[in-house]
Structure 1
Amino acid sequence: MPVSLEAINYPGYFLKRNASNKIVLEAFTNTTAYKGDATFLISPGWADGTKVSLQSYSQPGYYIRHYDYVLQLDAVNAASNTTTKADATFGRLNF
């Protein structure tokens, strides 16, 4: 299922991939490139199937991962180590 993540406190700003594969908060621009970089596919979590992992729509095989206190896109697959899989797994809350 594709999703985009809009900031509650900054309406019109979405999490998206930048040219360095970092995840940044950026104002919406109605372009194909922006939409692709701000869209993620929800899948079962790599480290815990009851949680979620978010795969980049524009960079298949790359997932949002927290590393060194920064969100970024990294390749994650079955051969990835346990830490990488855990870093790319998130709990989901509905507000």
Structure 2
Amino acid sequence: MAHSPVRTVVLARSLAEFHAWCRQTRTSPRDRSVLYASGPHALGGLDGVEIVRHGMWRDRLDEAAYTQAVASLEARQSPQAGATFSSSDSPYAARN
């Protein structure tokens, strides 16, 4: 069975903040093109995605491993794949 590729990975401090991002951007949290990166494990194996940093995304108990997993994901991204990164200190950063 083929799965749709993840297009947008949202880095957020918590599931509640991910849901706040979804409300702000009018995106359904059940949208298959959006993935909440719940931890470092969720970032393994991804490639060619848009990374959205939301609010205080680094303020987590697993901050060191999470930040390292994000750096690894960014290093794997290929410019030819159209990968983009966005970041905002605002808790309501809009999706590109």
Query: TM-score interval w.r.t. the shorter chain?
Result: under 0.3
More strand by share: 1
Q: With a CA cutoff of 8 Å and minimum separation of 6, indicate the structure with the bigger relative contact order.
A: 2
Task: Give the TM-score normalised by structure 1.
Answer: 0.27
